[in-house]
Structure 1
Amino acid sequence: MGVIVSGGGAHAASPDQADVYTPAGHTAYLEEQAGSDPEAQEVLTSFKALSSDHQVEFLNYLRDPAVIKASLGASEAADSARIAGPRRTDETKINKDVSLATESKTERVRNRVAGWDDKVTYSEYSKVMGIKVTKLSIWVRYNATRGAVQKVHNSGSAKKNFNPGVAISADNARPWVAGKKAHAETVWEGHLTGLGGFVQIDKKQSLVVSWDRTYKGRLVDA
């Protein structure tokens, strides 16, 4: 998982804005967003808590193509379906400082016609030195009776990206019902613009949910 744009999140810096990869420049970059984004404030606080040497190491990771591509690698929530929490998190180490995590949550949403719907959200995010850098989420809202999903109302995606060298956009497919399950899908286009060149990494994030809130979430090459 890794670096993309749909709803919310930071803006990528221009390649010539090398200052954002200095401790002072990156602090200013995060401060611009922290006033309106609680997650940016959390990242800013964590970054400031690092020692000067660790801040430099953190920023080197943000522009390391190997690390970025590894954090955007294909993943899958499980070989078999999982029950979505209210909230569930699993984390896998890529190396000693970089990790990839998945998170899911279930909500009950009021429906004026049918009473209540279920909404399942599946997210993947990368962390560098314990700091969340990029988070990609996909969700689907549906109505189900025992044994089958009857109707999918809507779906969507959202991202949070605090790597200034990466720009992200999303193309959301219309949700659908198949095999008595709710389906949602998003294609993320990640543009790595801060690496002294231009690299594009496309990923497809999908979510399949059963009537009992078991789900499968995946992030694979598009």
Structure 2
Amino acid sequence: MQTSTSRRRGARSIAVLGAVAIVAGTGVTSVAADDHAATRSGQTATPAAYISYLASSSEEGAAQTLSDFKGLPAAEQEKYLDYLNNPEVFRALMEDAPEPTQDTTAGPQSAPAEDTTTSLFGGDVVVESEHESTFTPDTKPEPGSSAEAARKRKLSRGTWESTYSHTQKIFGVTVTKLSVWVNYYTNGSKITKVNFADGGRRNYNASVSISKGVPKHWKDGRYANGSVVWEGNIVFKGFGVSIDKREKVWANEYGYRGGYLKNI
């Protein structure tokens, strides 16, 4: 199996108003270093404390986040830690992702959902929505068939998996990544069984707690579906930010897939 090479990325920007703009502007960077530490959680109080936190983490990907954080200039390290303790940044991660239409009657002309990138806080914070599928569409042309007809052929017989991920990066450093995937079987004509679904999280923000609910999987019309519920909380200074989200992924017999993250 190969990772699909037909991944596309679109881009859009969101204007941040009111208090968010104040936090993302010069108001943050003008505060003295000691004042910064006083308004942060213990493990994000200073760059040294955060480095120690990442170094002791056994979570997959923590070593890369540690390396990337160490590579930031000192001023960006300080601002990064302020963002970790900013409830508006947490809300930005948990904002609803675009929800593609899941047409259960759609044929092969239905295009795969596009990846998206949303820039916030002057570009310091980026939220990415990505789709990935471990399938290889059976696109080998038969004698006399056109390339377009070959492109519309269904997946080869076998077991495939599709994933949808929602990721937040600060200054290019991965802070949080939420993923859900569904595993399914097609007989070469249609999906006949949805084997299982699961979800995974990578969270390198010591100020935020994210828990995973029980994954669900099911077949709906032509589609294999998987979902998981995430419960997120800022655990410092009593911000009271608590958000429940459902993350969903689906795929049909042509390998076209989509996903979303939204309130429940």
TM-score, with length taken from structure 2: 0.68
Higher relative CO (Cα under 8 Å, sequence separation at least 6) belongs to: 1
Deviation, 1:144, is: 1.6
Match among 73, 76, 87 for residue 51 of structure 1: 73
Corresponding position of 2:170: 128
Task: Work out whether 1:41 is the aligned partner of 2:83.
Answer: no
Identical positions, percent? 29
Q: 1:23 aligns with which of 40, 44, 47?
A: 47
Q: Distance in 1 between matches of 2:98 and 2:246?
A: 11
3-state SS in 2 of match to 1:60:
helix
Q: For residues 122 and 66 of structure 1, what CA distance do their matches in structure 2 show?
A: 24
Question: Aligned to 1:161, which of 181, 203, 213?
Answer: 203
1:161-189 alpha-carbon deviations (Å, 9 max, x no partner): 00001111111343111112101111100
Deviation at 1:198, TM superposition (A): 3.6
Alignment check: 8 A CA contact 1:146 1:212 kept = no
Distance 1:125 1:184, change over 3 A: same
**Offset of 1:105 from its aligned partner?**
1.9
Aligned to 1:200: 242
Structure 1 residue aligned with 2:120: 94
SS in structure 2 of the partner of residue 99 of structure 1: strand
CA 1:82–1:56: 2 relative to 1, 3 Å:
farther
C-alpha distance in 2 between matches for 1:72 and 1:199: 11
Helix, strand or coil at the partner of 1:83: coil
The structure-2 alpha-carbon separation of the partners of 1:94 and 1:78, relative to structure 1 and needing over 3 Å to count, comes to: farther
Give the distance between the partners of 1:178 and 1:162, measured in 2 at CA: 35
Partner of 2:96: 74
Distance in 2 (alpha carbons) for counterparts of 1:128 and 1:16? 16
Name which one, 1 or 2, has greater alpha-carbon Rg.
2
For structure 2, list consecutive stretches of 5 or more residues without a partner in the other structure.
1-38, 103-109, 137-156
Describe the superposition over 1:94-151 as per-residue Cα deviations: whole angstroms up to 9, x where unpaired: 2320111122222259xxxxx7301111111001111110000000010123453211
Q: Which has the higher strand share?
A: 1
**Corresponding residue for 1:3?**
none
Amino acid at match of 1:51: P
User: Is 1:212 matched with 2:254?
Assistant: yes
Q: Of 113, 119, 141, which residue of structure 1 is paired with 2:183?
A: 141
Asked if the contact 1:122/1:217 (under 8 Å) is kept, the reply is yes
- Partners in 1 of 2:235 and 2:135 — Cα distance? 39
SS of alignment partner, residue 61 of structure 2: helix
Alpha carbons of structure 1 residues 107 and 17: separation in structure 2 relative to 1, 3 Å: same
Q: 1:28 to 1:71 in 2, by over 3 A?
A: same
Aligned partners of 1:208 and 1:145: how far apart in 2?
Answer: 17
Measure the CA separation in 2 of the matches of 1:108 and 1:79: 21
Q: Which amino acid aligns with 2:112?
A: I
CA distance in 1, matches of 2:227, 2:159: 19
| 2:7 equivalent in structure 1 | none
Conservation of the 8 A alpha-carbon contact between 1:145 and 1:211: no
